[in-house]
Amino acid sequence: MDSESNRRLIDLEAGFVKTFQDVTLALTSLATTVSRRGVSVNSIVIPIPTNTAAKNEGIPAVTVSKDQFVLSGHSSSGTTRTYRCVFFTDSSG
């Protein structure tokens, strides 16, 4: 086993999850598409607001497909809103 794979296994056993991505919502659109290799229709994506504007906006709807997810239902205001998106994928399907 290579050292990178071994390190990931050790991290996983210790409870460290590195499947997250910070996402800034599009300022002029009602939906923001995020490319992320490894997500699928079997994934759960949880957007967590990380700034005041995002907290005031609330949690956007999430639609997941192969290697991407879409955050939608947010306003197209000129305010920057950032979320930390955590995702989990069922490896059985």
Range 60-84 average pLDDT? 88
Q: Which residue has the higher pLDDT, 92 or 77?
A: 77
Q: What is the pLDDT of residue 92?
A: 61
Q: What is the mean pLDDT of the chain?
A: 86
Per DSSP, the residues of the chain read --HHHHHHHHHHHTT----EEEEEPPSS-SEEEEE-TT--TTEEEEEEE-SHHHHHH-PPEEEEETTEEEEES----SS--EEEEEEEE-TT-
Q: What average pLDDT does range 26-40 have in this prediction?
A: 87
The residue ranking higher by pLDDT, 11 or 33, is 33
| Model confidence, pTM | 0.76
The C-alpha atoms of residue 42 and residue 40 are separated, in whole angstroms, by: 5
Residues 67, 39: contact at Cβ < 8 Å?
yes
Residues 33-42 have a mean pLDDT of 90
